[in-house]
Amino acid sequence: MRNLTNKAFNTRTVHAGEGVDFGQLNPVVSPVYPSVGYTYADSNDLDAVLGNERPGYVYSPRYGNPTVAAFERAIANLEGGEAAYAFASGMAAIHMALLAAGVRANTSVVAAADVYGATYSLLQNVFTELGSQIHLVDVTDLTTVEAAVSRSRPVALLVETISNPLMKVADLPRLAEIAHAAEARLLVDNTFCSPYLCNPIRFGADMVIHSVTKLIAGHGDVMAGIVVTTAALRAELMRLNKLLGGSLGPFEAWLAMRGLKTLGLRMREQCGHALELARWLQTHPKIKQVHYAFLPDHPQYALMKSLSEGKGAGAVFSFEIDGAGREQVFAFMDALRLVQPATSLGDIYSLVLYPAISSHRALTRAVRADLGIGDGLVRISVGIEAVADIQADIESALSVI
């Protein structure tokens, strides 16, 4: 294993997880291990591995895989956690984190009301049907969060560092205090920050979740999720996943790790581009409001600066087209030529999304309106293309409405 003590972020994205001793061969890059089965010198060895008495691989990837393990080590290193466990998607990671935190029938969860649409439905439909009590709160209103936590004594408080599409920022140090005072675990979906902008474990989070599909993999060609946590909670994730089977495959792990190596470079560009475009749109006559946590008039600007140590607020921002409804937003999206209308974010490609028909489609119009998601709200995820080209594309598409 390479010695990365005191090494900078960009050094660790390149080297973390690599350098396992494979015997005679010492590849610079961890290889893909597609084999499901592994053989041992004798049955005692196999028995010891199956009984968790010594490390090894037996049935892959559901019981662990060397390529996936390399990726897990890399993300644990970058998030500053003891260990990590990778899954086939961000949703699988969220589901398993909730189970590992102890969410069952007759337990409760306090969660941010504006979590990603599928997370909202997972809580409100699946976990509610199974008998868990879900309490949704505005995470920026700490008095309400504190009251909900002390009243319902949840096993988990689930928040997103930056929420979507209004880019609200969670006060992680205060939320950790509130959760821990009630003996609840703080689960943080850190997808919109990636480990580059913020490491929630430093602020007291017990589990950090990523949709790796987004910024970490970064190229729009792999779906994956990961949970970073303590060694003990990782063991619980592994115990559950051996039964539930939402494992990340070795090919996807390899692709995600390849994408990860340029995370710092991509994030620096994408955060810079997003800020430049957000500032420009604030002055645009057709735009009513821009939501981006690195704009000084954003309510959590100071908090975002402190959580990210001034590095930025991510690749994604949203804006409200003045007086627009579905028809005008569709016309705007159809007129874009470079920015792709696709349901993801965090890629090297700039992407546009209309939350009302995609990320927040599962919510009724009334719930969306309650959350502040109006019919004219559009979300942009800024890629690494030249910022002038992205700006020209948005300007020309705005001119059609």
Ligand X SMILES: Cc1ncc(COP(=O)(O)O)c(C=O)c1O
Q: Which of 213, 270, 350, 381 binds ligand X (CB under 6 A)?
A: 213
Query: Is the Cβ of residue 69 or residue 224 nearer to ligand X in the bound state?
Result: 224
Rounded CA-CA distance 38/56 in Å is 9
CA nearest neighbour of 158 among 232, 107, 224: 107
Q: Select the span of 83-91, 140-148, 270-278, 297-305 touching ligand X (CB under 6 A).
A: 83-91
Number of residues binding to ligand X, judged by CB under 6 A: 13
Q: Which of 211, 241, 300, 381 binds ligand X (CB under 6 A)?
A: 211
Please, what is the minimum distance in Å from the beta carbon of residue 284 to ligand X? 26
Residue 353 interacts with ligand X (CB under 6 A): yes or no: no
- DSSP, collapsed to helix, strand or coil, labels residue 139 as coil
Q: Which residues contact 314 (CB under 8 A, 6 or more apart)?
A: 162, 192, 193, 194, 197, 215, 267, 270, 271, 274, 293
The answer to whether 180 and 311 have CB atoms below 8 angstroms apart is no
Query: Is the Cβ of residue 15 or residue 210 nearer to ligand X in the bound state?
Result: 210
Residue 318 interacts with ligand X (CB under 6 A): yes or no: no
Residue 91 interacts with ligand X (CB under 6 A): yes or no: yes
- DSSP, collapsed to helix, strand or coil, labels residue 73 as helix
Rounded CA-CA distance 247/255 in Å is 15
Residue 98 interacts with ligand X (CB under 6 A): yes or no: no
Please, what is the minimum distance in Å from the beta carbon of residue 57 to ligand X? 25
Structure tokens at 318: 């949203």
Calculate ∠ Cα 194-199-205, nearest 5°: 115
Rounded CA-CA distance 141/159 in Å is 13
Query: Is the Cβ of residue 275 or residue 351 nearer to ligand X in the bound state?
Result: 351
Q: Which of 225, 264, 312, 314 binds ligand X (CB under 6 A)?
A: 225
Please, what is the minimum distance in Å from the beta carbon of residue 134 to ligand X? 17
Query: Is the Cβ of residue 132 or residue 161 nearer to ligand X in the bound state?
Result: 161
Q: Please list the residues that pair with 185 across neighbouring strands.
A: 156
Structure tokens at 367: 């719930």
Q: Which of 65, 191, 199, 381 binds ligand X (CB under 6 A)?
A: 191
Please, what is the minimum distance in Å from the beta carbon of residue 346 to ligand X? 9
101-120 binders of ligand X (CB under 6 A): 116, 118
Please, what is the minimum distance in Å from the beta carbon of residue 164 to ligand X? 6
146-165 binders of ligand X (CB under 6 A): 160, 164
Q: Select the span of 84-92, 193-201, 247-255, 277-285 touching ligand X (CB under 6 A).
A: 84-92
Q: Select the span of 89-97, 101-109, 236-244, 350-358 touching ligand X (CB under 6 A).
A: 89-97
Please, what is the minimum distance in Å from the beta carbon of residue 118 to ligand X? 6
Structure tokens at 217: 């993999």
Rounded CA-CA distance 367/125 in Å is 15
Residue 194 interacts with ligand X (CB under 6 A): yes or no: no
Buried b (16+ CB within 10 A) or exposed e, 248-280: bbbebbbbbbbbbbbbbebbebbbebbbebbee
Query: Is the Cβ of residue 15 or residue 368 nearer to ligand X in the bound state?
Result: 368
Rounded CA-CA distance 164/113 in Å is 11
Q: Which residues contact 291 (CB under 8 A, 6 or more apart)?
A: 165, 166, 167, 298, 317, 318, 319
Q: Which of 223, 237, 267, 382 binds ligand X (CB under 6 A)?
A: 223
Question: Following DSSP, what letter does each residue of 245-300 receive, concatenated?
Answer: --BPPHHHHHHHHHHHTTHHHHHHHHHHHHHHHHHHHHT-TTEEEEE-TTSTTSTT
Position with the least CB separation from ligand X? 90
Please, what is the minimum distance in Å from the beta carbon of residue 191 to ligand X? 4
Q: Which of 18, 146, 189, 206 binds ligand X (CB under 6 A)?
A: 189
Residue 89 interacts with ligand X (CB under 6 A): yes or no: yes
The answer to whether 222 and 256 have CB atoms below 8 angstroms apart is yes
Rounded CA-CA distance 375/152 in Å is 34
Query: Is the Cβ of residue 163 or residue 328 nearer to ligand X in the bound state?
Result: 163
Query: Is the Cβ of residue 324 or residue 380 nearer to ligand X in the bound state?
Result: 380
Residue 90 interacts with ligand X (CB under 6 A): yes or no: yes
**Which residues make up the interface to ligand X (CB under 6 A)?**
89-91, 116, 118, 160, 164, 189, 191, 211, 213, 223, 225
